[in-house]
Amino acid sequence: MENLSRKQNPYNDGKVIDSCGLFGMMSLKGNTFSGEDAMTAIANMNIRGNGLGGGLAAYGIYPDRPDQYALHIMYENGRGREETEAFLKESFEIVFNEEVPHRDSATGVVNPPLVWRYFVNTLGSIKEEDQDDYVVEKVMFINTKIHDTFVFSSGKNMGVFKGVGFPENIGHYFCLEDYQGYLWTAHARFPTNTQAWWGGAHPFSILDWTVVHNGEISSYGTNKNFLEMYGYFCTMFTDTEVMAYAVDLLIRQHHLPIELMAKVLAAPLWSEIDRMPEDEKEVYTALRQVYAGLLLNGPFTVIIAHQGEMIGLGDRIRLRPLVAGLHKDMLYLSSEEAPMRLVCRDLEYSWIPKGGEPIIGRLETNEVIYQDKPVVVGMDKNANTSSA
């Protein structure tokens, strides 16, 4: 670890806050592909990480069990596993479980814990409309009450794979070239405020929401307190965790469209709201008042994913980079353009989005939405981009 740190931070600065690499790729038609391209792309941005954290999320990888929650769980010791499995047997119907396949011979992976996955159904007494809330409640219980155990992925037909190492090493460790998914996100981490450990790597996830993040959120304490009022307990002590929970609360529980979710996290300034037409002014004033505790202060770029959608979003003054690209049915999001062109040499269109404006790739409609309208390949870039 000391050698890696010295290599990536030769001046031994106490804090490095402008790094972290993000990458996402999605087939808008739902075509599946292995994790190799995502691993290749994120490896191209190793300068943005330091080997202290990396990971990938993949969607559509469990087609034989699409309706079961796939719980990925890390264990530090046998006692934690024993207690957790007893709790799972009481709380769920366990359909199948196994150790997550991995390569013990993989290089660059540091102190791996035991990682197990459980495919589960909720109990018959749980109404269908309450199942997601039930799973969140049980995940929060395990992560706060059972020692040496961490549920880091809990969605359907998707999974998170992460740990201490460069992301391509983590992908190789978990054999991700053998999986087939229609959406992959990846993260190369440069920890700024928290120590490196397997649970603290990105992506962060709840149900099928995943978030990879570059930046530093100074509003963590306020965000954390707001989320705890709704039953989300932040155990990782990292700003990215609050983003995953905030997205789940705003979209799944409070039914906000993605466009308005983005305006909560990357809120317009009050001076901008004052200049809006009256109907818009009323909406955005209400959002800032009701969700003041979820406003994200500080520089950030995130790639958010869940079943059927991939979303890119940056802070309003674009203090962290994000580039988008399109080729046929493929949408790419990345911290840099080079990784996109490395895995797609015929990229048809790329642009730098405006701060605070979400990019949304949708499987259902096979389209990309930006600034509330579909992106048309070949359009005038000046109409859809900004360098500020």
Determine the pLDDT at residue 132. Answer: 97
- The per-residue pLDDT for range 2-49, each reduced to its tens digit, is 343 343 444 444 444 457 899 999 999 999 999 999 999 999 998 888
What single DSSP character describes residue 203?
A: P
CB of 351 within 8 A of CB of 323?
yes
How many domains is the chain partitioned into structurally? 1
Mean pLDDT throughout 118-143? Answer: 96
Question: What does the alpha-carbon distance between residue 303 and residue 313 come to, in Å, rounded to a whole number?
Answer: 7
In a domain, 197, yes or no: yes
In a domain, 248, yes or no: yes
Mean pLDDT throughout 129-133? Answer: 97
Residue owning tokens 């890696």: 4
In a domain, 388, yes or no: no
CB of 204 within 8 A of CB of 20?
no
Residue owning tokens 């009050």: 270
Angle at CA of residue 209, ends 206 and 215, nearest 5°:
95
Determine the pLDDT at residue 195. Answer: 64
In a domain, 264, yes or no: yes
Average pLDDT of the chain to the nearest whole number? 89
pLDDT over 50 (residue 382):
no
Q: How many CB atoms lie within 10 A of CB 144?
A: 10
- The per-residue pLDDT for range 35-85, each reduced to its tens digit, is 999 999 999 998 888 888 899 999 999 999 999 999 999 999 889 999 999
Q: How many CB atoms lie within 10 A of CB 270?
A: 10
Token pair recorded at residue 79: 């006692």
Among 84-98, 300-314, 318-332, 369-383, which stretch is predicted with the lowest mean pLDDT?
A: 369-383
Q: How many CB atoms lie within 10 A of CB 342?
A: 17
pLDDT over 60 (residue 386):
no
Q: Is residue 190 very low, low, confident or very high in pLDDT (cuts 50, 70, 90)? A: low
Determine the pLDDT at residue 111. Answer: 87
Determine the pLDDT at residue 17. Answer: 46
In a domain, 302, yes or no: yes
Domain ranges, residue 211: 2-383
Question: What does the alpha-carbon distance between residue 379 and residue 185 come to, in Å, rounded to a whole number?
Answer: 26
In a domain, 98, yes or no: yes
Determine the pLDDT at residue 359. Answer: 97
- The per-residue pLDDT for range 251-276, each reduced to its tens digit, is 999 999 999 999 999 999 999 999 99
SS (H, E, C) 313-374: EECCCCCCCCEEEEECCEEEEECCHHHHHHHCCCCCEEECCCCCCCEEEECCCCEEEECCEE
In a domain, 114, yes or no: yes
Determine the pLDDT at residue 2. Answer: 38
In a domain, 365, yes or no: yes
| Domain CATH for 65 | 3.60.20.10
Determine the pLDDT at residue 223. Answer: 94
Return the sign of the alpha-carbon dihedral for residues 350, 301, 140, 228.
negative
Among 10-14, 329-333, 375-379, which stretch is predicted with the lowest mean pLDDT?
A: 10-14
Active site residues: 20
